[in-house]
């Protein structure tokens, strides 16, 4: 039976050579598109002037945008190119990874997950891009994956930068319709978390007005770590909440007065005075 099927297939191909010709033409077109993409992604020499680099960046951006919805066939061809050339420049790898992920979100989900969790090299740039792409193309899976990575203590593991994981987690929450506030609040208020991650969590909390986020921001405002930039971000986040949340609006001036009365940093006092004058007087 298998022999008969094979003979029928060969007979059909022989009787309809246009089919194989069309397949060959399609393959040639895909190969040409991949070559053109790699060319567009390849950065100019380090000695190139700013005009050349700006032109390359614009061309690279346009090419990626054009091919991000090209379909599964191109996605597979781009994935083959990505996996066949791990030595390619970072800009090429990142671009190939994006085009493949946009066109093949389900196929690329385990590839991106492995890059986030198990990538063994020192290429943080590729790991960062994988984390961002996973959040954008498989948001629910990214939401579930990233939560423990950014809240649990870990040692000896190479992962994307903490602030990138926090930002990607927030993106995944938005796209999946999930609530990021509990995890963001945990990171923002944790004195032992990376300061860059805490800052990103505070900035993301600014987008989620509510009781828990407000109390977290209040906690950050009055802490005595000396991180004035983090505390400024918390103050600005509370002001942003007051514009969309009536409870926060009603409490804003009392919160600012409380912080002002306990504040010993002269520069931060001046910052608070400017906010109070603008919002409370």
Q: Are residues 126 and 227 in the same domain?
A: no
C-alpha–C-alpha distance, residues 275 and 221, integer Å:
13
- Domain assignment present for 48: no
Residue-wise pLDDT for 21-63, tens only, equals 556 668 889 999 999 999 999 999 999 999 999 999 999 999 9
243 neighbors 217 (Cβ within 8 angstroms): no
41 neighbors 91 (Cβ within 8 angstroms): yes
Enter the DSSP assignment of 253: H
239 neighbors 205 (Cβ within 8 angstroms): no
Lowest model confidence (mean pLDDT) among 4-18, 187-201, 263-277: 4-18
pLDDT at 222 (0 to 100): 86
pLDDT at 17 (0 to 100): 55
pLDDT at 26 (0 to 100): 81
Res 12 pLDDT > 90: no
Domain residues for the domain of 256 are: 193-281
* Residues 6+ positions from 16 with CB-CB distance below 8 Å: none
Q: Are residues 62 and 166 in the same domain?
A: yes
pLDDT at 14 (0 to 100): 52
C-alpha–C-alpha distance, residues 73 and 15, integer Å:
26
pLDDT at 16 (0 to 100): 57
pLDDT at 5 (0 to 100): 41
Q: Are residues 60 and 174 in the same domain?
A: yes
Q: Output helix, strand, coil percentages for the chain, rounded to the nearest 5.
A: 80, 0, 20
Res 10 pLDDT > 80: no
Domain boundary among the residues 178, 212, 233 is at 178
Domain boundary among the residues 145, 178, 211 is at 178
* Residues 6+ positions from 192 with CB-CB distance below 8 Å: none
pLDDT at 89 (0 to 100): 94
Domain boundary among the residues 178, 210, 235 is at 178
Q: Give 94-162 as a DSSP string.
A: HHHHHHHHHH-HHHHHHHHHHHHHH--SS-HHHHHHHHHHHHHHSHHHHHHHHHHHHHS---S---S-H
Residue-wise pLDDT for 78-127, tens only, equals 999 999 999 999 999 999 999 999 999 999 999 999 999 975 556 788 99
Q: Which residue has the tokens 């921001």?
A: 217
202 neighbors 237 (Cβ within 8 angstroms): yes
* Residues 6+ positions from 179 with CB-CB distance below 8 Å: 173
Count Cα atoms within 13 angstroms, Cβ side, for 123: 20
Q: Exposure string (b/e) for 66-100, b if CB count within 10 Å is 16 or more?
A: ebeebeeebbebbbebbeeeeebeebbbbbbbbbb
Polymer length in residues for the chain: 281
Q: Are residues 69 and 156 in the same domain?
A: yes
C-alpha–C-alpha distance, residues 203 and 190, integer Å:
15
Q: Are residues 170 and 78 in the same domain?
A: yes
Residue-wise pLDDT for 190-230, tens only, equals 998 999 999 999 999 999 999 999 999 999 998 866 788 99
C-alpha–C-alpha distance, residues 137 and 231, integer Å:
33
Q: Are residues 72 and 174 in the same domain?
A: yes
pLDDT at 164 (0 to 100): 96
Span 251-275, average pLDDT: 92
- Domain assignment present for 40: no
* Residues 6+ positions from 201 with CB-CB distance below 8 Å: 166, 184, 185, 187, 188, 193
Q: Are residues 156 and 231 in the same domain?
A: no
Q: How many domains does the chain have?
A: 2
C-alpha–C-alpha distance, residues 108 and 182, integer Å:
29
Reduced to 3 states, what is the DSSP secondary structure of residue 34?
helix
The CB density around residue 176, as the number of other CB atoms within 10 Å, is 17
Residue-wise pLDDT for 148-207, tens only, equals 999 986 655 678 999 999 999 999 999 999 999 999 999 999 998 999 999 999 999 999
Q: Are residues 149 and 232 in the same domain?
A: no
pLDDT at 223 (0 to 100): 80
Q: Are residues 174 and 130 in the same domain?
A: yes
Res 9 pLDDT > 80: no
């Amino acid at each position: 039976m298998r022999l008969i099927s094979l003979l029928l297939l060969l007979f059909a191909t022989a009787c309809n050579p246009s089919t194989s010709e069309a397949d060959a033409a399609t393959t040639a077109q895909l190969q040409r598109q991949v070559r053109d993409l790699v060319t567009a992604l390849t950065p100019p020499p380090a000695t190139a002037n700013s005009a050349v680099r700006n032109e390359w960046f614009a061309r690279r951006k346009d090419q990626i945008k054009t091919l991000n919805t090209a379909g599964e066939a191109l996605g597979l061809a781009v994935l083959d190119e990505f996996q066949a050339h791990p030595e390619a420049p970072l800009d090429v790898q990142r671009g190939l990874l994006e085009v493949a992920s946009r066109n093949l979100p389900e196929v690329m989900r385990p590839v991106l997950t492995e890059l986030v969790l198990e990538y063994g090299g020192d290429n943080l740039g590729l790991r960062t891009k994988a984390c961002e792409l996973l959040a954008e193309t498989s948001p629910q899976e990214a939401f579930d994956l990233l939560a423990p990575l950014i809240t649990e203590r870990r040692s000896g593991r190479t992962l994307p930068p903490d602030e990138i994981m926090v930002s990607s987690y927030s993106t995944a929450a938005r796209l999946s319709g999930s609530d990021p506030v509990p995890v963001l609040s945990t990171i923002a208020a944790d004195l032992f978390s990376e300061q860059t991650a805490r800052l990103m969590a505070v900035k993301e909390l600014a987008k989620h007005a509510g009781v828990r986020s407000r109390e977290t921001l209040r906690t950050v405002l009055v802490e005595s770590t000396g991180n004035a930039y983090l505390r400024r971000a918390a103050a600005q986040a509370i002001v942003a909440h007051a514009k969309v949340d009536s409870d926060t609006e009603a409490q804003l001036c009392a919160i600012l007065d409380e912080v002002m009365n306990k504040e010993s940093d002269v520069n931060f006092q001046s910052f608070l005075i400017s906010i109070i004058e603008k919002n409370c007087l």
